[in-house]
Amino acid sequence: WACGAGTVDGRRVGLNLGARWTDGGGATENAVIVDGHLTKLAQHVDFAWDRRDPRRPWRLRGDGVDVTLTPDHVEATPAWLRPLGDLRVAFGRFAGHVGDVRVDGVQGWAEELHAIW
């Protein structure tokens, strides 16, 4: 899951991108908001990141989506809790585009969670 918000070229921009949570369900949680107008994105987004070093850039790509989150800070589940769940969260700035909307400089985060439900 990834989320961000900020101002780009005088426009208020927000984004919400997810992967795998809705796979096979016929829907996505993906959308971009520009100056209060929500545009739903029907396509799926793939998250690619270095699991050995989550401080490296995270790449989110899909049909019409190509953004990179460059982390400033990363949080992770302590090793002793990982048998119950493993969470990695990277906080930083996005660059790239969602459709024709630039998201350069938008602050936000991306995460990957594996948990026992």
Residue 26 pLDDT: 60
Confidence of residue 100 (pLDDT cuts 50, 70, 90): confident
Structural domain tally of the chain? 1
Residue 115 pLDDT: 61
pTM of the model as a whole:
0.84
Find the domain containing 105 and state its range: 2-115
- Structure confidence by residue, pLDDT tens digits, 13-71: 999 998 765 556 665 788 889 999 998 887 788 999 998 899 999 999 988 889 999 99
- Cβ-based neighbours of 13, under 8 Å, separated by 6 or more: 5, 6, 7, 32, 33, 34, 101, 102, 103, 106
CATH number, domain of 66, equals 2.40.370
Residue 71's CB is within 10 A of a number of other CB atoms, namely 19
Residue 24 pLDDT: 60
> What is the rounded CA–CA span in Å between residue 106 and residue 1?
16
Q: Which residue has the higher pLDDT, 85 or 28?
A: 28
For residue 38, list its beta bridge partners: 33
Q: Which residue has the higher pLDDT, 98 or 93?
A: 93
Show the tokens assigned to 112. Answer: 């990957």
